[in-house]
């Protein structure tokens, strides 16, 4: 097989890229693969790590052109006030500096999270007891509302009415708690 990039040397590196189920195959020679370094993080075996892989993934964010022409544009200069980490640093090391980074970089996170978590951007698991109360209620209401829609779609109206009443009572509790806390 001949390298698909230079069409001269034999292809010795074979990659399969799968993004959202879409499969693309690459057959490259060593040299062209090296030039594609960013795309094929696997190449540099010495420091192959999740870290690099992730940083590579995050770097996909910024189109290559933008990065080379003007490093100080766009999200790169965004800096977290608490830990002083910049968005650029984050994309380099693939780790946040503190919990506030999530808020600071919030605008740029959804595509990254989607890519890492099969399209998901919202937590639906455990809630710490301390946050408890109000948050638990809101979560329950959210889940019940989804259930309500499903039931209506399936025309199971009796069950749907039950769920609706549950939601109402939870919303009542939520209002009371809210007022209590204020």
Q: In the complex, what is the shortest distance from the CB of residue 100 to other proteins, in angstroms, rounded to a whole number?
A: 9
Q: In the complex, what is the shortest distance from the CB of residue 68 to other proteins, in angstroms, rounded to a whole number?
A: 25
What does the alpha-carbon distance between residue 166 and residue 160 come to, in Å, rounded to a whole number? 10
Closer CB to other proteins, 11 or 86, in the complex? 86
3-state secondary structure 123-134: CCCCCCCCCHHH
What residues contact 101, with CB distance under 8 A and at least 6 apart? 80, 82, 83, 85, 90
| Region of 81 on the Ramachandran plot (φ > 0 left; ψ -120 to 50 alpha; else beta) | alpha
Closer CB to other proteins, 10 or 111, in the complex? 111
Q: In the complex, what is the shortest distance from the CB of residue 111 to other proteins, in angstroms, rounded to a whole number?
A: 11
CB atoms within 10 A of CB 114: 13
Closer CB to other proteins, 71 or 121, in the complex? 121
Closer CB to other proteins, 68 or 119, in the complex? 119
Closer CB to other proteins, 1 or 143, in the complex? 143
Q: In the complex, what is the shortest distance from the CB of residue 113 to other proteins, in angstroms, rounded to a whole number?
A: 6
Closer CB to other proteins, 31 or 61, in the complex? 61
Yes or no: say if 40 and 15 are a contact pair by the CB < 8 Å rule: yes
Residue ranges in contact with other proteins by CB under 8 A: 50, 54, 82-83, 85, 93-99, 102, 109, 112-113, 116-131, 135, 138
First to last CA, the chain: 70
Q: What's the Rg (C-alpha) of the chain?
A: 24
Q: In the complex, what is the shortest distance from the CB of residue 76 to other proteins, in angstroms, rounded to a whole number?
A: 17
Element (H, E) at 18: strand 13-19
Q: In the complex, what is the shortest distance from the CB of residue 182 to other proteins, in angstroms, rounded to a whole number?
A: 18
């Amino acid at each position: 097989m001949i390298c698909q990039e230079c069409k001269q040397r034999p292809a010795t590196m074979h990659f399969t890229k799968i993004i959202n189920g879409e499969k693309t195959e690459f057959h490259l020679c060593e040299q062209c693969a090296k030039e594609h370094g960013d795309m094929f993080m696997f190449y540099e075996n010495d420091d192959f790590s999740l870290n690099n892989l992730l940083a590579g993934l995050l770097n996909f964010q910024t189109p290559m052109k933008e990065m080379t022409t003007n490093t100080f544009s766009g999200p790169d200069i965004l800096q977290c006030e608490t830990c002083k980490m910049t968005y650029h640093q984050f994309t380099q090391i693939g780790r946040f500096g503190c919990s506030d980074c999530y808020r600071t970089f919030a605008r740029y996170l959804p595509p990254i999270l989607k890519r890492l978590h099969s399209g998901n951007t919202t937590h639906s698991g455990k809630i710490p007891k301390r946050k408890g109360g109000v948050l638990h209620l809101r979560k329950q209401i959210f889940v019940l509302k989804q259930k309500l829609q499903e039931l209506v779609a399936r025309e199971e109206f009796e069950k749907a009415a039950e769920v609706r009443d549950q939601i109402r009572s939870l919303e009542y509790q939520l209002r009371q708690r809210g007022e209590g806390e204020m």
